[in-house]
């Protein structure tokens, strides 16, 4: 790297779409407190579109985390690809690296340590939970839900800034969730929604392969959609990825009101523009939910096995108006609590959520935000 080039720092978050959206708060913080540094990211392949139009970044590295999950991590092909990634990172000569991860498992810690040490950065920042010997600076890990995930990563940016002599120790660092919109995607959504009746409510039913137990039964969504439409009218959109198309079509056929099935028809830029145009998001803890939060679209979120204190709306990093709901028979999360991930393969669900309660929450939030008139 020539002397004329600014020094560089790297933020690492090998997660899914929702994890990547939560990282935007740390990117916001770093772009302001480390203004003399070029900022790079290493993220999971699923989240690259989130930063495709972000001028705050010099470069975005991506890696498909499925290649390093479980036994696949030791396959020759995976090891070769991982080695190439580490070699490429080392050539960048980063001044500092932030690991936006909890050091929850031994294998996960080994992967993160290989990044931190392999990239050669003299300043290595992360969370301290007894496995952080490879870090040079650490913030105490209070566990999942002690603060929101986005707030954890903003605090680590503050630790990095202090370590690089860019700020006093303990100085408050602020960062807000924010995603940039693709103008072409915005135009496509404007054409798609032309003439659509307000309020426009995006409903996310069904989930991909990671923790599918976050999903609610289609009969519950159907009753909510029918109740909301009968009381406030508007337009209902069923969103999701290609793997959720069949579930969305089943839900559309189940309900007695009209709902446009858009699951599988929107990539991340179009989904971002679509959620920005909506008056409310209804659904579980998921990537689209976090996109809605970052876009200031009101959110009614449904929670079961996962931890809303970790992944739910958080004013500390900026969030849209939101209502989080739990069923009485699911009063506490069973996954990602304290310092344990839990068994994500264990069968669970959102419990006995009352559709009438969910519909009331949707209408209350639409009224509160001015999308419909109070009854």
Reply yes or no on whether the pLDDT at 141 is more than 80. Answer: yes
> Within 10 Å of residue 119's Cβ, how many Cβ atoms?
23
Reply yes or no on whether the pLDDT at 2 is more than 60. Answer: no
How remote is the C-alpha of 204 from its chain's centroid? 15
Which pLDDT does position 210 carry in this prediction?
61
Which pLDDT does position 375 carry in this prediction?
62
Start-to-end CA span in the chain (Å): 63
Which pLDDT does position 357 carry in this prediction?
97
Q: Say if CB 118 and CB 7 are below 8 A apart.
A: no
Domain boundaries, the chain: 8-163, 183-368
Reply yes or no on whether the pLDDT at 169 is more than 90. Answer: no
Better-predicted residue by pLDDT, 161 or 66 = 161
Give the span between the Cα atoms of 155 and 172, in whole angstroms. 8
Give the span between the Cα atoms of 364 and 375, in whole angstroms. 10
Give the span between the Cα atoms of 302 and 241, in whole angstroms. 19
Least confident of 9-13, 86-90, 219-223, 318-322: 318-322
Give the span between the Cα atoms of 188 and 202, in whole angstroms. 17
The CATH number assigned to the domain with range 183-368 reads 3.40.50.2000
User: What percent of the chain is predicted at pLDDT more than 90?
Assistant: 81
Least confident of 47-56, 86-95, 105-114, 227-236: 47-56
pTM over 0.85: yes
Domains 8-163 and 183-368 share a fold: yes
Note the maximum CA span of the chain.
Answer: 66
Reply yes or no on whether the pLDDT at 167 is more than 70. Answer: no
Output the average pLDDT for the chain.
Answer: 93
Mean pLDDT of the region 178-207? 94
User: What percent of the chain is predicted at pLDDT more than 70?
Assistant: 96
Q: Which fold has domain 8-163?
A: Rossmann fold (3.40.50)
Phi–psi pair at 168, nearest 5 degrees: -75, 150
Reply yes or no on whether the pLDDT at 212 is more than 80. Answer: no
How remote is the C-alpha of 19 from its chain's centroid? 4
Beta bridge partners, 350, equal none
Which pLDDT does position 280 carry in this prediction?
98
Reply yes or no on whether the pLDDT at 356 is more than 60. Answer: yes
Give the span between the Cα atoms of 165 and 123, in whole angstroms. 11
Beta bridge partners, 201, equal 236, 280
Coil, strand or helix at 300 = strand
Q: The dihedral of CA 36, 133, 21, 316: what is its sign?
A: negative
Give the span between the Cα atoms of 167 and 37, in whole angstroms. 14
């Amino acid at each position: 790297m020539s002397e004329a080039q600014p020094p560089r720092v790297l933020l690492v978050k090998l997660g899914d779409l929702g994890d990547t959206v939560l990282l935007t708060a740390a990117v916001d913080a770093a772009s302001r407190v480390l203004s003399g540094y070029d900022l790079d990211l290493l993220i999971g392949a699923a989240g690259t579109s989130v930063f495709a139009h972000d001028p705050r970044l010099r470069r975005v590295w991506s890696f498909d985390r499925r290649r390093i999950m479980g036994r696949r991590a030791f396959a020759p092909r995976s090891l070769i690809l991982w080695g190439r990634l580490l070699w490429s990172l080392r050539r960048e000569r980063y001044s500092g690296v932030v690991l936006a991860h909890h050091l929850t498992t031994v294998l996960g810690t080994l992967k993160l340590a290989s990044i931190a040490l392999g990239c050669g950065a003299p300043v290595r920042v992360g969370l301290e939970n007894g496995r952080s010997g490879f870090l040079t600076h650490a913030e105490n890990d209070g566990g999942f839900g002690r603060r929101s995930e986005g707030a954890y990563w903003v605090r680590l940016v503050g630790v990095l800034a202090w370590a690089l002599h860019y700020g006093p120790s303990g100085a408050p660092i602020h960062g807000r969730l924010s995603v940039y919109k693709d103008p072409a995607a915005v135009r496509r959504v404007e054409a798609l929604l032309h003439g659509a009746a307000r309020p426009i409510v995006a409903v996310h039913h069904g989930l991909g392969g990671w923790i599918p137990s976050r999903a609610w039964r289609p009969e519950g969504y159907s009753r909510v959609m029918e109740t909301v439409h009968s009381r406030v009218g508007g337009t209902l959109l069923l969103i999701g990825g290609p793997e959720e198309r069949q579930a969305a079509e089943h839900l559309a056929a189940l309900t007695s009101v009209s709902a446009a099935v858009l699951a599988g028809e929107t990539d991340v830029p179009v989904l971002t523009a679509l959620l920005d145009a909506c008056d409310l998001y209804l659904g579980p803890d998921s990537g689209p939910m976090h996109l809605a939060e970052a876009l200031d679209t009101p959110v009614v979120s449904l929670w079961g096995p996962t931890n809303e204190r970790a992944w739910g709306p958080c004013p500390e990093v900026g969030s849209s108006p939101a209502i989080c709901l739990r069923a009485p028979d699911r009063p506490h999360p069973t996954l990602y609590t304290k310092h344990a991930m839990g068994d994500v393969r264990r069968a669970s669900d959102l419990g006995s959520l009352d559709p009438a309660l969910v519909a009331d929450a949707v209408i209350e939030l639409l009224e509160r935000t001015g999308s419909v008139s109070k009854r």
